[in-house]
Amino acid sequence: MTDPRLVAGVDCSTQATKVVVCDASTGEVLREGRAPHPDATQVDPAEWWKAWQIASDGLLDGVSALSVAGQQHGMVLLDGAGEVVHPAVLWNDTSSADATAELVSELGGPETWAAATGSVPVPSFTVTKLRWVRGAAPDAAARAEAVALPHDWLTHQFAADRSGIADLTTDRGDASGTGWWSPTTNDYRPDLVELAFGRSLQLPRVAGPSEVVGQTASGIALAAGTGDNMAAALGLDLQPGDVAVSLGTSGTAFATSAAPTTDPSGFVAGFADATGGYLPLVCTLNAARVLSATAQLLGMDLAELDQAALTSTGSAGLVMLPYLDGERTPDLPHSTGLVYGLTRATAQPATMARAAVEGMLCGLADAVDALRAQGLPVHRVLLLGGAARSRAVQALAPALLGAPVVLPEPAEYVALGAARQAAWAVSDAVPTWEVAMSKPESPVLTDEHAAQVRARYAAVLNGTRPLLSTPR
């Protein structure tokens, strides 16, 4: 028997499936579980189902509603019976870099794409993966009848009455990251699917933000679900003037907006959110792993790296461009990391540690500035994700990001946002859930010093951009 006081949220992320069961009225987490995913950029979706079964084991007794938040952009190709025909190609797979350039050109350039879908495609976007798989795996492409996103596929798996591909659903938020849906018109652009794939595919129905799209065999109501960033915004209860900066596997900066945004430069993706509004967002491929990779290079653990960065009086002109996995924003998929300004004086562990923290934050500072350029106010930054726990990051972030910083209490905000959506789906309105915030310790950078750090970073980036664009 279900209990209307209990709702569940699922975060199917790049690295793991996380499940929270919450009190529907307060958001208090009552139970939670987690299971890892394979460390790969192409994954059999069956691995997500295995992780779900492990993570949710023993948690769902009494749950009345459930919602799935999934990693954005992942491409799941299905045949007419709903069977997967190719491993899911995830957002961080850059195989479609050449396909991206082709598609942007074929439609008429970045301005045309921004006007059509609110975003200029980069290799993360699903539409570019369709073009790539068409050439790289023609047999799988020939069998495909439908294309879905990770959260679409999982929600469909939960449904007791699913039949083939007929009942696939998605939501505005996740659909807005495909490259074939327009946040301005709230409609699909099937012509862009045909441009990428050479023929049409069945696309999931776009459900309303608070819609119940089905139920499980045990009677749990299924909410529409959404993308991970949209769920995080819902979990954080972002307000106008708030910008969330998340430092996880990727780095993101996003804010809510009452109106759609269009950025022909491609820096800001004009996404929709999970409530009927909009979520302009900038995403980088490199965030927390920049710090872990630097710590490994220096023979330190993360706590030692943190202390070294804080004890340094500055990077002394040493600049790190942290493009260790290529980069999405700026669009440099073939790039590698770069350390500039290495001398005997700067070849010190503490200086390198400081440069790594500064480099990671400078990339996100450019992201926050891009949101400002779209007319979004930045009254405060909510700093979250694994790297946000670093004292060095907390100390340097306010000056480099150019705004006061607050720290949401560590929590699984994507899963919480999904749970909040589930609660909304079985009630009359979005429930009010409080988010505890704290302030970081005293910043260590002056505005003048931060301006110097950012100017050096920009000079190195702009001076080496042709080199960074060269295929490896």
Q: In the beta sheet, which residues pair with residue 254?
A: 244, 281
pLDDT in tens, 236-295: 999 999 999 999 888 999 999 999 999 999 999 999 999 999 999 999 989 999 999 999
Sign of the Cα pseudo-torsion (15, 226, 377, 373, in order)? positive
DSSP string, 185-244: TTEE-HHHHHHHHSS--B--EEE-TT-EEEE-TT-PEEE--EEHHHHHHHHHT--TTEEE
Greatest Cα pair distance, the chain, in angstroms, is 69
Of 232, 458, 453, the closest CA to residue 357 belongs to: 453
Residue 417 neighbours by CB distance under 10 Å:
28
Residues 382 and 409: their CA atoms lie apart, in Å, by 10
Q: What angle do CA 346, 350, 356 make, to 5 degrees?
A: 85
Cα(431)–Cα(423) distance, integer angstroms: 7
Report DSSP state, residue 440.
P
Structure tokens at 23: 């009190």
β-strand partners of 283: 252
Q: What is the mean pLDDT of residues 92-107?
A: 95
Q: What is the pLDDT of residues 175-220, one digit of tens each?
A: 999 999 999 999 999 999 999 999 999 999 999 999 999 999 999 9
137-158 tens-digit pLDDT = 999 999 999 999 999 999 999 9
> Which pLDDT band, with edges at 50, 70 and 90, does 472 fall under?
low
Query: Taking residues 223-246, what's their average pLDDT?
Result: 97
- Catalytic site positions: 228
d(CA 74, CA 129): 9
Average pLDDT, the chain: 95
Tokens of residue 192, six digits: 């862009």
**Residue 311: how many CA atoms within 13 Å on its side-chain side?**
10
In 3D space, the residue among 244, 230, 282, 231 whose CA is nearest the CA of residue 397 turns out to be 244
- E strand residue ranges, 356-453: 380-384, 405-408, 437-438
Mean pLDDT calculated for residue range 71-100: 96
Q: What share of the chain is helix, strand, coil (3-state, %, to 5)?
A: 35, 25, 40
- By percentage, how much of the chain surpasses pLDDT 90? 90
> Over the Cα atoms of the chain, what is R_g?
22
Pick from 17, 26, 78, 27: nearest CA to 416: 27
- Cα–Cα distance, 210 to 98 (Å, whole number): 38
Tell me, what's the pLDDT at 331? 85
Which pLDDT score is estimated for 443? 76
Q: In the prediction, which pLDDT does 464 show? A: 87
Question: What is the location of CATH 3.30.420.40 in the chain?
Answer: 3-224, 238-408+442-472
Per-residue pLDDT band for 55 (boundaries 50, 70, 90) equals very high
- pLDDT above 70 (res 113): yes
CATH number of the domain located at residue range(s) 3-224 in this protein:
3.30.420.40
Q: How confident is the model at residue 468 (pLDDT cuts 50, 70, 90)?
A: confident
Residue 128 contacts residue 121 (beta carbons within 8 Å): yes
Contact 340/460 with Cβ under 8 angstroms? yes
Q: What is the pLDDT of residues 123-141, one digit of tens each?
A: 999 999 999 999 999 999 9
Phi, psi angles (nearest 5°) of residue 287: -140, -105
> Which pLDDT value is given to residue 465?
81
- Which class is 238-408+442-472 in CATH? alpha beta
**Preceding omega of 45 cis (within 30 degrees of 0):** no
- ∠ CA 72-166-151, nearest 5°, is 20
- Tell me phi and psi for residue 415, to 5 degrees: -65, -40
Average pLDDT of 16-30? 97
Return the half-sphere exposure (C-beta side, CA atoms, 13 A cut-off) of residue 17: 25
Per-residue pLDDT, 268: 96
- Answer whether 224's CB lies under 8 Å from 425's CB: yes
Beta strands in 61-149 (DSSP E): 63-70, 76-78, 88-89, 146-148
pLDDT band at 320 (very low <50, low <70, confident <90, very high): very high
**Residue the block writes with tokens 């009345």:** 64
User: pLDDT at position 275, please?
Assistant: 96
Check if the beta carbon of residue 374 is closer than 8 Å to that of residue 263.
Answer: yes
Q: Is the pLDDT of residue 296 over 60?
A: yes
